[in-house]
Amino acid sequence: MRINGVEIEDTFAEAFEMSGARLIVTAHTQSWALTAAQAATGFATSIIGCGCEAGTNELAPDDPTPDGRPGVAALFFTTSRQGMETQLLQRVGQGIMTSPTSACYNGLASGDAIKVGGKLRFFGDGFQSSKFLDGRRLWRVPVMDGEFVVEESFRVSKAVGGGNFFIMAEGIEAALAAAETAVGAMRSVPGVIMPFPGGIVRSGSKVSSKYKGQHVSSNTPFCPTIRPLVESALPDGVEAVLEIVIDGLEEDLVGEATRVGVVAACLPGVVRISAGNYGGSLGRYQFHLRELVGT
């Protein structure tokens, strides 16, 4: 199968079950809402070393915020419910509560409840107060610009992490142009994030290493500079590979983001689109590239 002359390899991305949370961050202006959300989702590219994977989504015009102010969605993905509670306590407390004029609300309709605002309220030193708004229990914590409003609990639901595809190109200019175009198109799919810097990762990994105690290492079959030294997975003419990793609140959303991204990435200079998997032995979810782009 080819799209615009680019080969779509007959393979699949293997993804895993994760826990997902969606927070609505609001502020006096859209810029400050985004600043708070970006601070909370910072250093969250890979579950391997960051504790969670996170990113932001724009809200749809018909998705009003609980307090009627400008806002943005922040999505978080972890390997467990307990891990999510730890991450949100730290990230909401340090990244959102500290940001001027911010407030933070639960953005999921269902899932297990974890107490975040109900713990952060103690920062109020006894002067915090609670209120109910449309069935939500909120805490009002006094801060120096007024009060920080935070919902007592956030919902955590089953989610999908680790969807991916590889862009193999003739050089870095073509690979980067295709990856940037793909990520730009994928951002239109709600409920998904591409957690790496700019949505793109160059240091793809494999789950093995020659070194004791090192559980992951560089994905050497896809590294062009060592092609003569390894069993390479790269076709002739490929000198640069970039990967896009996708996390989503639902399986269908990850599939749609993959489809949109793969089609958008088929630009001049791209030789092949592939994906990473473990033969289907580890991940619960499989996203077959040809099936997705053929629909």
Q: Please tell me the least confidently modeled range out of 91-95, 130-134, 152-156.
A: 130-134
Residue 203 tokens, joined: 């240091």
Residue-wise pLDDT tens digits, 224-278: 999 999 999 999 999 999 999 999 999 999 999 999 999 999 999 999 999 998 8
Three-state DSSP state, 164: strand
pLDDT for 295: 63
Location of structure tokens 């994977």: 53
Q: How far apart are CA 239 and CA 217, in angstroms?
A: 20
Q: 2-15+159-293: which CATH topology?
A: Alpha-Beta Plaits (3.30.70)
Domain boundary assignment for the chain: 2-15+159-293, 18-157
What number of helices (H) and strands (E) belong to the chain? 7, 17
- The beta strands (E) that lie in the chain are given as 2-3, 6-8, 12-26, 53-57, 71-78, 103-106, 112-115, 129-133, 136-143, 146-151, 153-169, 192-193, 205-206, 217-218, 240-248, 270-274, 285-288
What's the average model confidence in pLDDT over 73-81? 96
pLDDT for 187: 95
Residue 61: pLDDT band (50, 70, 90) is confident
Query: Are the C-beta atoms of residues 82 and 21 closer than 8 Å to each other?
Result: no
Residue-wise pLDDT tens digits, 91-128: 999 999 999 999 999 999 999 999 999 999 999 999 99
Residue 36's CB is within 10 A of a number of other CB atoms, namely 27
Q: CA nearest 133: which of 40, 64, 35, 60? A: 64
What's the average model confidence in pLDDT over 140-161? 97
Residue-wise pLDDT tens digits, 34-50: 999 999 999 999 998 89
Options 3.40.50.300, 3.30.70.520, 3.40.718.10, 3.40.50.200; which CATH number does 18-157 get?
3.30.70.520
Residue-wise pLDDT tens digits, 50-60: 999 999 999 98
Residue 129 tokens, joined: 């107060």
Q: How far apart are CA 256 and CA 244, in angstroms?
A: 14
Say what the pTM is: 0.94
**Shared fold status for 2-15+159-293 and 18-157:** yes
Q: CA nearest 103: which of 120, 81, 86, 115? A: 120
Q: CA nearest 24: which of 171, 130, 136? A: 136
Q: How far apart are CA 32 and CA 294, in angstroms?
A: 41
Beta bridge partners, 210, equal none
Residue 19 tokens, joined: 């826990």
> Which amino acid belongs to residue 100?
P
